[in-house]
Structure 1
């Protein structure tokens, strides 16, 4: 199994729109470091049989899939319905054409309701033979379930994201926790024994109402003790070189296009 980090930035990406010359607001991030350029957060999980599960459809999805040379996916799982995780949805029609069929869309009932309200045309029945619009088949799921998506066994757990809940994922010894500010005991139980954990870390020193900061993440790492922790959903405070030089052993910054190769859905390198 391998996991590709399509994007590792927050909802506005890095750099954000703006800057003194209009070339972008980089905050504390060095513009000369390519790994500081971050698109919106998403991953693809691929198993040895070739099936791929896309997690979220960011507004940068088209460029991400091209840059990472991912030629198609077999299903989509949505962690929640915030814009930076769903508004690439229209480009799913090309993924439909590649697959030659509608794609299963796994999400909670609440997320599916919001997506259907905003993108109702994507959830209408397919009208063969063409895909002039995205076609998704809603597959409601609940935290606590273990589902089969694109041939992959995925354990789901709830995460506190401030005003909403998001879905966290556990696949073998790999864990994925985007968009989270607090974890309950059920989430810690789902992550117990995780080997490699990709986790939201939006900022360093300050606190945020819906995203974890570095101190919070390091506290979780101390409790869970994963062999490897990779930070994602990072904002403009999170300079790559600073993290390289200051993060403790076993904790590192992710970057767009990073690939984690996992042996039998277990240890990732």
Structure 2
């Protein structure tokens, strides 16, 4: 399995719109370091059998797919309904056209209902031929229950994201926890044993809705992943400065980071949602 980080920025990206000359607000990030230029957070899992699963459709999706030369995936997981993780949903029409079929969309029933309320036309049944709009098929999952997406087993993790919830994702020895500020003991138990963990770390100091560096370090000590990769980073998180202070086994993500991992376990046919 290959994990591709399509974007690792917060809801406003880096740089944020603004700045003295209108060219962008970089905060503490060095504009000359290309790894500080961050689009909204999303990843793609490319499986060894050719299947691919996208996690979230942020507003930068088209540019992300073009930058990473990705044109095919069969499934999308939605971690939650916030705009910076959903609003690129119309861009999947191009992928519908490439693969010639609807794309399966996974999320909690509440999240899928929220997205369908905002983008109802995307979830209307497909009438072939052709795709004049994006076409998704809703497949609700239950937190904590193993679910098959394509040929592979996934487990979804309850997360607290400030005033809302979100879903973490575990697939084999890999886990993804974006947009999270609190993890219950039960959720930490599900994360135990992961080899590689991509986790929300918006800034260095405490935040009401996102994890910060000390909190991630506390979780890391509990979970003990071999590799911890920080994502959903804001303008306080300069790439080189982070590399200078982070311990071995912890690193900041960057747009386009590619991670090679063993293929995860296959799912049983009767588990397919």
TM-score by length of 2: 0.95
Match of 1:250 in 2: 249
- Whether the aligned pair in 1 keeps the contact of 2:153 and 2:264 (CA below 8 Å) is no
- Contact 2:152 2:264 (C-alpha < 8 Å) held by counterparts: no
- What residue in structure 2 maps to residue 216 of structure 1? 215
Are 1:91 and 2:91 counterparts?
A: yes
Matches within 5 A, 1:14-53: 14-53=14-53
User: How far is 1:258 from its partner?
Assistant: 0.2
Distance 1:192 1:10 in 2: 26
RMSD, matched Cα: 0.9
- Separation of aligned partners in 1, 2:172 and 2:200: 19
* Residue 104 (structure 2) aligns with: 104
Q: Distance in 2 between matches of 1:186 and 1:67?
A: 37
Counterpart for residue 63 of structure 1: 63
Distance 1:57 1:264 in 2: 24
Give the structure 1 partner of residue 231 of structure 2. 232
**Deviating runs (4+, > 4 A) in structure 1?**
none
The superposition leaves residues 15-35 of structure 1 with CA deviations (integer Å, 9 ceiling, x where unpaired) of: 000000101000000000000
Deviation readout 1:141-176 (Å, 9 max, x if unpaired): 111111111322111111000111111011111111
Is this contact kept in 1: 2:17–2:23, CA < 8 A? yes
Where structure 1 has 5 or more consecutive residues not aligned to the other structure, the ranges are: none
Superposed CA offset, 1:63-116 (max 9, x none): 101111112111111000000000000011111111111111001111111111
Distance 2:98 2:263 in 1: 27
Match of 2:183 in 1: 183
**Match of residue 268 from structure 2:** none
C-alpha deviation, 1:43, in angstroms: 0.4
Report the more deviating stretch, 125-134 or 8-17.
Answer: 125-134
Whether 1:78 and 2:78 are equivalent positions in the alignment is yes
Q: Which residue of 2 aligns with 1:137?
A: 137
Gaps of 5+ in 2: 266-273
- CA drift of 1:223 comes to 1.1
Normalised to the residue count of structure 1, the TM-score between the two structures is 0.97
